[in-house]
Homo-oligomer: A and B are copies of this chain.
Amino acid sequence: MVQGRITIKDVAMKAGVSTATVSRVLNKSEKVHSRTRWRVERACAELGFSRDPIATALRTGRSNTVHLLIERFDGNFIPDILVGIEAKADAENYRVLVSKLDNAGRGIWEPGKQYIDGIIVISDAVHDLNLSEVAGQENLPLVCVYSYTQDIRYPCVLPDDYQGAYLAVQHLATRGCNDVGFISGPPDWPASEDRLRGYRQAVEDFGLREDPNLIEVGDWTVATGYEACLRLLERTSFDSIFAGNDSMAIGAIDALREHELRVPRDVAVIGFDNAALCRYVRPTLSSIAMPLKELGEVAMGTLLSLIDQRNNGQSSDTEHVLKLPCVLRKRDSTKVSEQLTIRDRKES
């Protein structure tokens, strides 16, 4: 009763054809008489045959498997990006192998490297990394998600930080703010730079106060958000703060609270990232949500098309940088609770 594995051979026998023909049917493409094809397909169905991926991989060198290299598993955005990657992979019948991306770049060369059709890298610091080493001498298709590399061979799928920042400031402007403080992330991060640009453009477009004194720098942490906000308070006055991320926004709120300033009544605050904590802090924190799931989907989609092109000997025609739009999440920290206060400030 124990029927081992059902192989292409069994199918061939049942259908009265050769294994070569069965293989042809399985791989669509080639010409097979429709009568034969039908017989084979029926045999497959009746026997409940499914092709052995390992044998196929050995023969063809491809495995329908992509390698996902993650720098830090506990990064805030990983899970949502994973959702997108996995969904797309699943839909296209690909498998996803997950490993830690060793900072040193080694650890990828170990067994398992072969037969990988492509690579996705998620990291905060890809620009420091030699990706061609990761891609190997076979120069496997590789895309970065949520991380940037200058190497134009590798597409990068990123949130549109510029547009997201613009959105944040626009929201504050719409709400009636005029003096928007900005707490930037570290200047050497591409994301920081883009968010600053978005801030500046929106300030200009909406005719808000342009003043270098309104800009401060932190390093993404609560503590530096707090300190940056203190410096802003000393130096100038403002009616709102746009923080480069949610942690710094929370630090800023701490500082405001110490100065007896209430959020959003006295100062509106908006963050960036839309981390889970936005819904848990009080007041709940408005923020800019990155399209994480979509990033994952698009990254996987891009990778699959790279793989396709490579298999067909075409050269890749993908953009180097793909930016997906962010969306605004309004919460209490930017609510217009006291219309008057704001009017006063605008008219003064």
Interface residues of A (CB under 8 A from B): 5, 50-55, 57-58, 63-64, 68, 73-76, 78-80, 82-83, 86-87, 90, 93, 95-100, 107, 110-112, 114-115, 222, 247, 250, 254, 257, 275-277, 279-282
Contacts A52-B114, A58-B54, A276-B276: A83 and B90 contacting too (C-beta < 8 A)? no
Given A73-B79, A73-B86, A111-B51, does the pair A96, B95 have CB atoms closer than 8 Å?
Answer: no
- How near does chain B come to A77, taking the closest CB pair, in angstroms? 10
Known: A52-B58, A222-B280. 19 other contacts (CB 8 A): A53-B114, A54-B57, A54-B58, A58-B58, A75-B79, A82-B98, A86-B100, A90-B99, A90-B100, A95-B112, A96-B99, A222-B279, A254-B282, A257-B282, A276-B277, A277-B281, A280-B280, A280-B281, A281-B282
State in angstroms the CA–CA spacing of A63 and B99 once bound together: 16
Query: Given the complex of chains A and B, what is the CA–CA distance between A99 and B86 in angstroms?
Result: 7
A97 touches B95 (CB 8 A): yes
Chain A at the B interface: mostly helix, strand, loop or mixed? mixed
- With A and B bound together, what is the CA distance between A72 and B107 in angstroms? 28
Report the Cα distance A80→B114, complex, angstroms: 28
Residues in B whose Cβ lies below 8 Å from that of A57: 54
Which of B53, B58, B63, B276 is A55 in contact with, Cβ under 8 Å? B58
Of all chain B residues, which has the CB nearest A285? B280
Contacts of A96 in B (CB 8 A): 97-99
> Could you tell me if A98 and B99 are in contact, using CB atoms closer than 8 angstroms?
no
- Which 7 pairs, one residue from A and one from B, show the smallest C-beta to C-beta distance? A277-B277, A277-B280, A73-B83, A74-B79, A53-B111, A73-B82, A73-B79
Q: Are B98 and A86 interface neighbours, CB within 8 A?
A: yes
Residues of B within 8 A of A98 (CB): 68, 82, 86, 96-98
Instruction: Output the least CB separation between A5 and chain B (Å).
Output: 8
Q: Cα distance A50–B108 when bound, in Å? A: 13
Nearest Cβ distance between residue A226 and chain B, in whole angstroms?
Answer: 12
* Chain B residue, CB-CB nearest to A83: B73
Residues of B within 8 A of A115 (CB): 53-54
CB of A116, distance to nearest CB on chain B (Å): 10
User: How many Å lie between the Cα of A52 and that of B276 in the bound state?
Assistant: 43
Q: How far is the CA of A79 from the CA of B70 in the complex (A)?
A: 11
Name which of A73, A97, A257 has the most chain B CB atoms within 10 A of its CB: A73
Which residues of B have CB within 8 Å of A280? Answer: 222, 247, 250, 277, 280-281
